[in-house]
Amino acid sequence: MCTPIIDQVEPLDQKKSSIIQGKSDRKIQLVILFDTSSSMDGLLNQAKSRLWEIVNESSALRYQGEIPSSEIAIYDYGNSGIQNNLFVRKQLDFTSDLDLVSQKLFALNTNGGNEYCGAVIDDALNELTWSSDARDVKMIYIAGNEPFNQGPVNYQEVCALARGKEVLVNTIYCGDHMQGVRKLWKDGAIEANGEDDLGTIINKSILNKAIGLGFDRLE
């Protein structure tokens, strides 16, 4: 099962919600890559909930007391209904519409296919319009349960590309801890300076990266 531990973002009380916060020119870009192959049957709903918590966590970040812009994109991969030989599909380009993000994420379903982590990361890095500002937070979360090195696209080369773009790739392996290590999900995160969920608290990767760039969390 997917077992990352994520702190809940508590609802703002009436007093806090009355505070008018300015808009920051800083940006948070977060991309979800979701395995929708049949091997995720029984794990899908839990993984969706975990990823949605990450979206909420990112939306609670502030930069010098102001609200940064937040952009979310979604891909799914490994689904036999995807009409290309790498089984990778962009569900949603960068958007700030969280209702649309929720709609797309929770509508995902499983259906056969082959899971190529390197291919979906490569598409996300090359197809999306990433910020060129080093002060912005740029992150990918990839969730799945098949070997990280499957497919024709070398994940190590793709992770090197992510490092060059200053995009952190964080892995969420849905299964046993040691199995995830053996299937190279931990190595995938290491290669791209990200974090994995194999015993870590994965929201730290958002907070640690953001705090290092001057962001803080809404209290």
Summarize pLDDT for 121-148 with one digit per residue, the tens.
Answer: 999 999 999 999 988 999 999 999 999 9
The CA distances from residue 170 to 38, 63, 106, in Å, are 22, 22, 20
Residue 18 lies in a domain: no
- 180-211: pLDDT as tens digits: 899 999 899 888 876 665 434 344 566 666 77
- Tallying the residues shown for the chain, one arrives at 219
Give the mean pLDDT of 153-171: 94
Domain membership of residue 168 (yes or no) is: yes
pLDDT the model gives residue 61:
87
Residue 10 lies in a domain: no
34 occurs within a structural domain: yes
Q: In total, how many domains does the chain have?
A: 1
The parent domain of residue 65 ranges over 25-217
Tell me, what CATH number does 111's domain have?
3.40.50.410
At which residue do the structure tokens 């649309």 appear? 100
Q: What is the mean pLDDT of residues 14-27?
A: 62
Quick check: is 80 in a domain?
yes
* 180 found inside a domain: yes
Residue 5 falls within a domain, yes or no? no
**Confidence class of residue 213 from pLDDT cuts 50, 70 and 90?**
confident
User: Can you say whether the dihedral through the CA atoms of 50, 51, 55, 57 is positive or negative?
Assistant: positive
Q: What is the pLDDT of residue 6?
A: 30
- Is 155 a member of any domain? yes
Q: With DSSP H G I counted as helix, E B as strand and the rest as coil, what are the percentages for the chain, rounded to 5?
A: 35, 25, 40
Question: What is this structure's pTM?
Answer: 0.83
